């Protein structure tokens, strides 16, 4: 009898260990406002294939990873990694995690699946280091987009989307005169003001020069950057007065509620507007920020495999799933992004996303600063702080000087 009890206890103990062992902890910042819906759809798909794996959703709230990135870094440096985590393609991945030796190469996963060539080469390049791939791109977001309320557009007589700053500012002014907020901003989390500024900078520099900045082939000491600050100052005349109390979702919601004409945001706002019940092309329209029609400001969410992932086998299953067309075609139409896989089923995407797909394959791709692709975190954070102060002080000369210091500090050309 005693032996039977011991054997039973051992079985129960092993089973509980096994149960806890069969987990998968996924870290991200997708907690609501259209973002969580996409993530949960991926979890559902994972459970369809692996019903016994318990998914631990370790998401930390805050758009663009405002809070999540710091938590993640502490965990990674403290030797307590999640099984897989959201990270932007580009410097955020390579500089922060790959070069310090915290990630496993996963080229073999894409090779085993035979899908290495099913992702755009340029995208694979920015998730690679020394010839090895380190994360799986799940999507491509476009950052330089303005979403607008079609009903208000009609009221202000906008029959065609603006392509110049003069036209755009004229519509913002008309909207304001009718009692609306021209352009909604929510910079409670500071990143949104740099999100706006980097695209204005792109507009003034043009895509070629903008891209050269990051290769050290163009100087930050360019009147176009100063001019971008002057345009930003003009735009700020038309933002909501409570902008510093609002998140990006709150700002997008002002457009949905008919309180603001437009919102300049990445197309995760498209995902959000759809979860609120709006239809693209019917309730809301969109256009590339004036002057950026020939550019696609790229933001790509990817997932990688940290060294010493507690449930490595499950993490590999997760990564393999993300690399499939099936997962990408379930996730992206909800998230408001286009698939990273080039062979995805275009018919599953709405008219906005088809517009974005077309532009992605025909326009110049430019990496976003604030969403981790163009520059190291030290640069992005310092610039974000400077632009945030600019929103309050609106001192063009002072901020331009600060930008030059920040660029110089980070080894970029400023002569
Ligand atoms: C970006 C991210 C998007 C979206 C957005 C707002 O950095 O790539 O997927 O989540 O932040 O939170």
Ligand 1 near 194 CB (within 6 A) = no
Q: How far is the CA of 88 from the centre of ligand 1 (A)?
A: 9
**pLDDT tens track for 292-350:** 999 999 999 999 999 999 999 999 999 999 999 999 999 999 999 999 999 999 999 99
Which atom of ligand 1 lies nearest, measured to the CA of 63? 12
Q: Convert the pLDDT of each residue in 129-183 to its tens digit.
A: 999 999 999 999 999 999 999 999 999 999 999 999 999 999 999 999 999 999 9
DSSP state of 144: S
Residue 371 beta carbon below 6 angstroms from any ligand 1 atom: yes
Give the model's pLDDT for residue 3.
56
The DSSP result for 228-292, as a single string, is HHHHHHHHHTTS-TTGGG--HHHHHHHHHTTSEEEEEE-THHHHHHHHTT--BTTTEEEEEPTT-
- The neighbouring-strand residues paired with 304 are 85, 135
pLDDT of residue 32: 86
Give mean pLDDT, residues 6-16.
47
For residue 367, what pLDDT band results from cuts at 50, 70 and 90? very high
Q: Pick the atom of ligand 1 nearest to 248's CA.
A: 6
Instruction: State if residue 402 touches ligand 1 by the CB under 6 angstroms criterion.
Output: no
Q: Does residue 26 contact residue 57 with C-beta atoms inside 8 Å?
A: yes
Same fold, 2-140+301-361 and 142-297+367-409: yes
Question: What pLDDT was estimated at residue 2?
Answer: 52
Give the pair of three-digit tokens for residue 323. 């690399």
| Residue of minimum CA distance from atom 9 in ligand 1 | 301
Q: Would strands 128-129 and 132-133 be described as parallel, antiparallel, or unpaired?
A: antiparallel
Ligand 1 pocket member 267 (CB < 6 A): no
Q: Is the CB of 301 under 6 A from ligand 1?
A: yes
Q: How confident is the model over 87-127, as pLDDT tens digits? A: 999 999 999 999 999 999 999 999 999 999 999 999 999 99
Residue 229, pLDDT above cutoff 80: yes
> What is the whole-number distance in angstroms between the Cα of residue 122 and the centre of ligand 1?
20
Atom 12 in ligand 1: residue holding the nearest Cα: 63
CATH superfamily of the 2-140+301-361 domain: Periplasmic binding protein-like II (3.40.190.10)
User: Residue 113: in which H helix or E strand, if any?
Assistant: helix 107-113
Ligand 1 centroid – CA 62 distance (Å): 9
What spacing in Å lies between the alpha carbon of 72 and ligand 1's midpoint? 15
Average pLDDT over all residues of the chain:
95
Residue keyed to tokens 């950052």: 143
Can you give the pLDDT at residue 400? 98
pLDDT range class, residue 261, cuts 50, 70, 90: very high
pLDDT band at 351 (very low <50, low <70, confident <90, very high): very high
Q: What is the pLDDT of residue 9?
A: 47
Q: Is the CB of 92 under 6 A from ligand 1?
A: no
Does 299 sit in the ligand 1 pocket, CB within 6 Å? yes
pLDDT band at 20 (very low <50, low <70, confident <90, very high): low
Region 237-265: mean pLDDT is: 98
> Which of 5-9, 193-197, 248-252 comes out lowest in average pLDDT?
5-9
**Predicted TM-score of the model (pTM):** 0.94
Determine the pLDDT at residue 16: 45
The answer on pLDDT for 360 being more than 80 is yes
How large a percentage of the chain has pLDDT more than 70?
A: 95
Structure tokens at 220: 């930050």
Q: Is the CB of 25 under 6 A from ligand 1?
A: no
Record: fold of 142-297+367-409: D-Maltodextrin-Binding Protein; domain 2 (3.40.190)
C-alpha span between 190 and 388 (Å, rounded) = 6
Contacts for 109 with CB less than 8 Å, ≥ 6 apart: 136, 316, 319, 320, 323
Domains of the chain, residue spans: 2-140+301-361, 142-297+367-409
Ligand 1 centroid–CA 336 distance in Å is 10
| C-beta of 268 in contact with ligand 1 (< 6 A) | yes
Residue 15 pLDDT greater than 50, yes or no: no
């Amino acid at each position: 009898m005693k032996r039977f009890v011991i054997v039973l206890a051992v079985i129960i103990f092993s089973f509980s260990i096994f149960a806890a062992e069969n987990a998968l902890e996924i870290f991200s910042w997708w907690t609501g406002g259209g973002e969580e819906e996409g993530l949960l759809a991926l979890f559902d798909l994972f459970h369809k294939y692996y019903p016994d794996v318990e998914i631990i959703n370790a998401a930390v709230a805050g758009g663009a990873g405002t809070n999540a990135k710091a938590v993640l870094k502490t965990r990674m440096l403290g030797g307590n990694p999640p099984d897989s985590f959201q990270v932007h393609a580009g410097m955020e991945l390579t500089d922060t995690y790959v070069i310090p030796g915290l990630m496993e190469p996963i080229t073999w996963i894409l090779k085993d699946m035979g899908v290495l060539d099913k992702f755009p080469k340029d995208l694979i390049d920015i998730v690679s280091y020394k010839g090895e791939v380190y994360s799986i791109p799940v999507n491509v977001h476009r950052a330089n987009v303005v979403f607008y309320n079609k009903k208000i557009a009609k009221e202000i007589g906008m029959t065609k989307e603006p392509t110049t700053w003069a036209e755009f500012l004229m519509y913002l002014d008309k909207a304001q005169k009718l009692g609306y907020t021209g352009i909604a901003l929510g910079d409670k989390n500071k990143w949104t003001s740099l999100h706006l500024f980097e695209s204005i900078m792109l507009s003034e520099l043009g895509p070629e020069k903008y891209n050269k900045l990051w290769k050290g082939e163009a100087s930050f000491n360019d009147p176009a950057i100063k001019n971008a600050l002057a345009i930003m100052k003009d735009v700020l005349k038309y933002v909501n007065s409570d902008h510093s109390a609002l998140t990006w979702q709150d700002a997008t919601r002002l457009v949905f509620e008919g309180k603001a004409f437009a919102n300049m945001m990445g197309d995760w706002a498209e995902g959000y507007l759809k979860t609120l019940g709006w239809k693209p092309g019917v309730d809301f329209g969109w256009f590339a920020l004036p002057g950026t029609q020939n550019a696609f400001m790229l933001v790509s969410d990817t997932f990688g495999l940290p060294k010493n992932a507690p449930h490595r086998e499950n993490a590999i299953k997760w990564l393999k799933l993300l690399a499939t067309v099936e997962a990408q075609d379930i996730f992206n139409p909800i998230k408001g992004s286009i698939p990273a896989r080039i062979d995805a089923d275009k018919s599953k995407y709405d008219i906005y996303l088809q517009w974005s797909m077309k532009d992605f394959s025909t326009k110049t791709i430019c990496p976003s600063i604030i969403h981790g692709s163009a520059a190291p975190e030290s640069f992005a954070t310092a610039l974000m702080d400077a632009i945030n102060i600019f929103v309050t002080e609106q001192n063009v000369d002072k901020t331009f000087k600060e930008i030059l210091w920040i660029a110089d500090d980070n080894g970029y050309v400023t002569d």
